[in-house]
């Protein structure tokens, strides 16, 4: 039996512009979100299953290792250098511990466990400085304990000289202070240590004869920036320049003879010891005036040098006014003839009213005056010969008739 089918009226399409209508695109969006949520939930369940499986595996592995007597391996964690990472968990704190802080804590714990540390011993350089400083301090203390320094006696380009006395017996002394930067020349001692040439020469001459010999070196002290020489100070005494001035600018020939004999004796002694003074002049000759006779003493060996016979020098050291003629022409000179020239210059100033000057003497502006004895004039000419080979030697001058 067939039933007739009644056609249903068709539903008119919804107008999307009417209020309350929902666009088909929104429906698609909600459907997409549902699908995404379903996918995330599925992925979450998968991760849970993997984590549970991993925990079971680790638990089983731990159980097997414990049964075998071992220990489970520690999990190596990756660190991100841009983000501080905790290397362990502290039950009292959930904050991550920076790696640098952890290292500092480890170093601190190591230091505490090791106990108190010994002070680091100074290196070789530090030891040398400490020893040197200690020696300098001892030298300074020893000097002040032994000597008292008084007023200044004089000064030059290389140092200063002070009046002083020895505390124990009040012996008059001359204290010469020389800045280390002004020390001219050094010599090595037996231990290879450099010593000022002046000190070496004074030590070498210390055992010489008294009277015509240089003043005696009593002590020396090496401080941080200077060398101190303690020398005998004959009293009463004045330097030869002051002595001449006190006598009106010149002395009589007989008195000049006494001075020249002793000066020649001193220079011959230096030559025998291989010492070249280089700077013989009125300022560097002391006249001891106490007693019945004058006594001549040589001082200031700051420019002196140790020489061998025949040695030639190219750098002139000494008073410019006493410079030998050969240095003017050839820029060379030697010890013997130069010393003789300087001895002649000293005698010239003793018996002339005026000072000696090599360039003026060579040009004829100054000359040996008339009125001197023939012996004194000849003695001066033997000293002041222009050609060094024509000058007398120191020993020949000692035998000159004028001095006999």
Give the pLDDT confidence of 250-300 residue by residue, as tens digits.
Answer: 999 999 999 999 999 999 999 999 999 999 999 999 999 887 888 999 999
Report the predicted TM-score, pTM, of the whole model to 2 decimal places. Answer: 0.66
Write down the pLDDT at residue 50. Answer: 54
Asked if 140 and 193 sit in the same domain, the reply is: yes
pLDDT > 70 fraction of the chain, expressed in percent and rounded: 65
Highest mean pLDDT among 63-77, 120-134, 211-225: 211-225
Looking up residue 239, the CATH number of its domain turns out to be 1.10.510.10
- 101, 107, 317 from 114: Cα distances, Å: 20, 11, 66
Query: Per the domain annotation, does 24 fall within a domain?
Result: no
Asked if 308 and 384 sit in the same domain, the reply is: yes
Tokens at residue 234, please? 């004959």
Asked if 276 and 401 sit in the same domain, the reply is: yes
- 118, 225, 247 from 126: Cα distances, Å: 17, 19, 59
Write down the pLDDT at residue 33. Answer: 45
Helical (H) or strand (E) element with 218: strand 217-222
Q: What number is the average pLDDT over the span 346-366?
A: 96
Q: What number is the average pLDDT over the span 182-202?
A: 86
| Closest to 272 in 3D by CA, of 351, 212, 359 | 212
Q: Is the pLDDT score of 21 beyond 50?
A: no
| Domain that residue 330 falls in | 235-404
Instruction: List, for residues 107-128, the tens digit of each pLDDT value.
Output: 544 444 445 555 555 555 555 5
Instruction: List, for residues 80-104, the tens digit of each pLDDT value.
Output: 443 333 333 333 334 444 444 444 4
Looking up residue 156, the CATH number of its domain turns out to be 3.30.200.20
Query: Per the domain annotation, does 225 fall within a domain?
Result: yes
Between CA 179 and CA 290 the distance in angstroms is 33
Listed residues 233, 250, 280: the one ending a domain: 233
Asked if 245 and 375 sit in the same domain, the reply is: yes
Listed residues 188, 207, 233: the one ending a domain: 233
Asked if 242 and 150 sit in the same domain, the reply is: no
Question: pLDDT-based confidence at 240, cuts 50/70/90?
Answer: very high
Q: What number is the average pLDDT over the span 180-203?
A: 86
Tell me what the pLDDT averaged over the chain comes to. Answer: 78
Asked if 246 and 281 sit in the same domain, the reply is: yes
* CA 182-141-218 angle, 5° bins: 60
In the chain, how many domains are there? 2
Say which DSSP state 310 is in. T
Asked if 280 and 378 sit in the same domain, the reply is: yes
- Burial class from Cβ neighbours inside 10 Å (0-12, 13-18, 19+) for residue 26 reads exposed
Query: Per the domain annotation, does 32 fall within a domain?
Result: no
Asked if 323 and 222 sit in the same domain, the reply is: no
Q: How far apart are the first and last CA of the chain?
A: 188
Tokens 């106490």: give the residue: 290
């Amino acid at each position: 039996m067939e039933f007739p089918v009644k056609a249903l009226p068709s539903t008119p399409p919804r107008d999307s512009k009417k209020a309350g209508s929902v666009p088909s695109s929104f429906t698609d969006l909600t459907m997409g979100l549902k699908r995404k949520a379903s996918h995330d939930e599925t992925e979450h369940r998968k991760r849970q299953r993997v984590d549970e499986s991993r925990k079971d595996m680790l638990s089983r592995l731990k159980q097997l290792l414990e049964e075998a007597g071992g220990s489970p391996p520690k999990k190596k964690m990756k660190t991100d250098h841009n983000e501080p990472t905790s290397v362990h968990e502290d039950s009292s704190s959930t904050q991550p511990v920076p790696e640098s802080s952890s290292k500092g804590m480890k170093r601190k714990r190591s230091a505490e466990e090791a106990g108190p540390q010994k002070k680091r011993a100074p290196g070789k350089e530090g030891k040398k400085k400490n020893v040197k400083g200690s020696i300098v301090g001892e030298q300074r203390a020893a000097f002040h304990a032994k000597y008292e320094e008084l007023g200044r006696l004089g000064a030059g380009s290389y140092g200063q000289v002070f009046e002083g006395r020895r505390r124990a017996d009040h012996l008059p002394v001359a204290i010469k202070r020389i800045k280390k930067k002004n020390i001219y020349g050094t010599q090595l001692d037996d231990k290879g240590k450099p010593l000022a040439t002046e000190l070496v020469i004074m030590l070498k001459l210390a055992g010489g004869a008294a009277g015509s010999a240089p003043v005696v070196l009593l002590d020396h002290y090496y401080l941080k920036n200077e060398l101190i020489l303690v020398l005998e100070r004959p009293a009463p005494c004045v330097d030869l320049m002051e002595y001449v001035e006190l006598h009106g600018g010149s002395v009589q020939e007989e008195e000049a003879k006494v001075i020249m004999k002793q000066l020649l004796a001193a220079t011959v002694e230096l030559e025998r010891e291989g010492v070249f003074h280089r700077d013989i002049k009125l300022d560097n000759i002391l006249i001891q005036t106490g007693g019945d006779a004058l006594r001549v003493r040589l001082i200031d060996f700051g420019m002196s040098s140790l020489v061998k016979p025949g040695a030639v020098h190219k750098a002139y050291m000494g008073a410019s006014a006493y410079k030998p003629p050969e240095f003017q022409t050839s820029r060379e000179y030697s010890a013997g003839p130069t010393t003789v020239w300087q001895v002649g210059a000293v005698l010239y100033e003793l018996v002339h009213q005026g000072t000696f000057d090599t360039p003026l003497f060579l040009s004829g502006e100054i000359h040996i005056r008339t009125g001197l004895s023939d012996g004194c004039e000849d003695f001066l000419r033997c000293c002041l010969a222009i050609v060094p080979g024509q000058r007398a030697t120191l020993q020949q001058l000692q035998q000159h008739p004028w001095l006999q």
